[in-house]
Amino acid sequence: MEEVGPLPGATVRKDQKKMNFEGIQRKDGVITKDAKGMVREATSFYRECFKEVPILEENVDRVLDRLQMKITEESKIALERELSSEEVKEALFNLSKKKVPGLDGIPKEFYETFWPLIKGGGRLGTTMRTGVLSLLYKKGDKTCLENWRPIQLLTTDYKILAKILCSRLREVLSDIIKDDQTCGVKGRTLLWNLYLIKDTISLVEDRNLPLILTSLDQEKAFDRVS
């Protein structure tokens, strides 16, 4: 007889309990447990985390002027062309199914069903510029916000636009990103760099050579870029 697994509802309740906040630790070490206090601390934490950092425009220009790998004028025109109905449809029907919708609550299946009616065009909605920040617990002290991963729940129409832009960029990334970056570029794989590190370590061990490996990790890098 096949063993029956846990009911979906029980699994959901278990996950929800894991995601519950029991309190948030303030900067002074005091743990606040009331709802308003936790909202205030979380808002302050992520406002500081995501705030815009002032930069000197001349420094940006200096860095950009030194770049040797640039896209061609032909690629530039292709990237900036108007969105087509075919691009929108392809992006829509290639989105992952059964994903959590954003603020408007409209899933991708809605757009697929009513595509013949909505493909004509219109204005971008305000919800495309609004996301819901949901926190997922990673590990460690649950009262420390550093141990929670922020996930931005975005609307499906925003995802469609983002997928179109990503598809366009994918075609030129290999022209402007050097071979030493193997992640996120079509035709490359992160495993290449992992194999390179492994082979390098084996080489220096066999030949008794000095070696220093440095690993740099930017705090909440993806969150800040996103």
Count the domains in the chain.
3
Both 127 and 186 in one domain: the answer is no
Both 77 and 140 in one domain: the answer is yes
Both 75 and 58 in one domain: the answer is no
Work out the mean pLDDT of the chain and round it to a whole number: 84
pLDDT at site 2 = 36
What is the crossing angle of helices 156-170 and 85-93, to 10°? Answer: 110
Span 87-110, pLDDT tens digits: 988 998 999 888 888 888 889 999
Q: What is the pTM of this model?
A: 0.69
Both 26 and 80 in one domain: the answer is no
Both 126 and 77 in one domain: the answer is yes
Both 107 and 47 in one domain: the answer is no
Both 110 and 172 in one domain: the answer is yes
The domain boundary, picked from 40, 67, 94, lies at 67
24 vs 117, higher pLDDT: 24
The pLDDT confidence band at residue 18, using thresholds 50, 70 and 90, is low
Q: Which domain holds residue 83?
A: 71-176
pLDDT at site 217 = 81
Span 38-82, pLDDT tens digits: 999 999 998 888 888 888 999 999 998 998 888 899 999 999 998
pLDDT at site 61 = 92
The domain boundary, picked from 67, 86, 118, lies at 67
